[in-house]
Amino acid sequence: MLLLLLGIIVLHVTVLVLLFVSTIVSQWLVNGGHTADLWQNCTSGTVFHCLASSSNEWLQSVQAMMILSVIFSVL
Q: What is the DSSP string of 40-58?
A: EEEEESSSEEEEEPP--HH
Band (pLDDT 50/70/90 cuts) for residue 50 is confident
Strand 34-36's sheet: what is its strand order?
Answer: 29-31, 34-36, 40-44, 48-52
Residue 58 above 90 pLDDT?
no
State which residues form the domain around 65.
1-74
pTM: 0.50
Where does the pLDDT of residue 53 fall: very low under 50, low under 70, confident under 90, or very high at 90 and above? low
| Number of independent structural domains in the chain | 1
HSE, CB side, 13 Å, CA atoms: give it for residue 36.
7
- 15-49 pLDDT, tens digit per residue, is 888 887 777 775 666 677 777 776 777 777 777 77
Angle subtended at Cα 52 by Cα 47 and Cα 56, rounded to the nearest 5 degrees: 145
d(CA 74, CA 50): 31
Residue 5 has pLDDT above 90, yes or no: yes
